[in-house]
Structure 1
């Protein structure tokens, strides 16, 4: 399912605030924080195969056991209602309460580490519902940058290369749902919330100015500073530039490869190739 806006739910702000206050007591996993520059990316599992909160790493759960609310999910009555009233739980595998701020997420694909699982067991579809977000929080897919706003329901094509940015210190909190590809008696999202209108509405799309040559020249000069020690800082600058300026398709990775080829540190280019493989092509056998 391609990334697309589906509909919006009216969030009960008071009940949501009560649940989020309870959730502050949870032990949040920092699994997948290696995808961030800034970070961390924290999550609490509310629904999972086997019904256990677990480690947060999707590869560590009991895929042969029925899915159910975890201990954390059972302690959040409002979010529990939101889950059961919004999606087809017969195909639901995971629901995470995910929090991050003041960070960028490296352009990557998800689900790559699940390819060893049987097709009818592995996660194949993802849905986002933002609970708290800000105008300085962005997603991108291909060369499209957009915002998901609080209460909106989005199908999210996690198998395509995508990046995320939160450019404010205040937390961004989403519910993230993962589903199997098994047939169901009803759509993943309840029937009256099927996709309508544009895939990414105009109100959600972020219109970025074209990246000027002067800014490209500034980025090229980062090659002089790029080393294994500064790699993450330089990559963060490149990713943030992608969210502010339209540099064209595959801008972030193409820019990093160009800088890696030009920089004096000979270890940087093979490192860039290794990261590109891991984040976008193959994570079979990896723990994260």
Structure 2
């Protein structure tokens, strides 16, 4: 199954009930995020359904039974109702609400550390609360905005990322499905309620312009003047991600340019650090492998 990134439908929310559930999530204690190296700035994840049923369990892993509703899922009955009535919970493996505020989801590829065939996984994203200056990007699809209620299938085995340039909430319901028991599954299997499927909805694509080679070179040289130690790599990665929003280039070019900046410093340790970042985020990594980054510099 090849599941290209696409907009496949829309959920019409009851705003009053949705706000009640989002208020509950806002009042939960903050946990250390299992995947905090994938976020810069404020990035908060709440597990509603997962492998163990424990809301403190934020790790995604292979398993062969339906996801279990967590305490956070039980405390957000409207969101759980949407999940149960609209989607295939038999093959649901994780449901999370992910909030990005004034921050970056570092460009990465998902499922690198999992053992199963990658074409058996489907991830969808549904914005619950969004803002005008928040964006998503995917290697082949480009840069786009997700509007409230949109149902996006994300080709998460390709490099992708997200940016929220504001201090407003950008909360998204992320649902992961696994179809290890079905040969050549079609993504339409995720829908329990077919009425919410509508592929005629036009996506909100972001128009970008060409970045001339000499302009890029000048900017990379400027960035190299502030690249003094490994901690600076994340700060430069954020700046390169912002450039990616406005100028045509695939997501993976962000790492190519980051390494080029490191080479301009003539510091082999910085070059090796950036090459390790590229491998970890979009190349290959092991289960429970970590890549510690300095926090809160967005």
The aligned counterpart of 2:252 is: 250
The aligned counterpart of 2:82 is: 82
1:64 Cα offset (Å):
5.1
Give the root-mean-square deviation of aligned CA atoms.
2.5
TM score, norm. by length of structure 1:
0.88
Alignment counterpart, residue 147 of structure 1, candidates 132, 145, 148 = 145
Q: Is contact 1:31-1:42 (8 Å) kept?
A: no
Structure 2 CA distance for aligned equivalents of residues 113 and 16 of structure 1? 34
Cα distance, 1:44–1:66 mapped onto 2, change above 3 Å? same
1:66 Cα offset (Å):
4.3
The aligned counterpart of 1:284 is: 286
The aligned counterpart of 2:215 is: 214
Query: How many residues get paired?
Result: 279
Q: Is contact 2:237-2:258 (8 Å) kept?
A: yes
TM score, norm. by length of structure 2:
0.85
The aligned counterpart of 1:19 is: 21
Structure 2 CA distance for aligned equivalents of residues 11 and 195 of structure 1? 16
Moved more, 167-176 or 227-236: 227-236
Q: Is contact 2:137-2:251 (8 Å) kept?
A: no
Moved more, 256-265 or 272-281: 256-265
1:263 Cα offset (Å):
1.2
1:229 Cα offset (Å):
3.5
The aligned counterpart of 2:9 is: 7
1:90 counterpart SS class:
coil
Q: Which runs of 5+ in 2 are unaligned?
A: 291-298
Deviations 1:83-119 (A, max 9, x none): 112211110011001111111222210111222xx55
The aligned counterpart of 2:158 is: 160
1:253 Cα offset (Å):
1.4
1:57 Cα offset (Å):
1.7
1:70 Cα offset (Å):
1.1
Q: Is contact 2:259-2:271 (8 Å) kept?
A: yes
Q: Does 1:267 align with 2:265?
A: no
Q: Which runs of 5+ in 1 are unaligned?
A: none
Runs of 4+ in 1 over 4 A off after TM superposition: none
2:263 counterpart SS class:
helix
Structure 1 CA distance for aligned equivalents of residues 90 and 148 of structure 2? 25
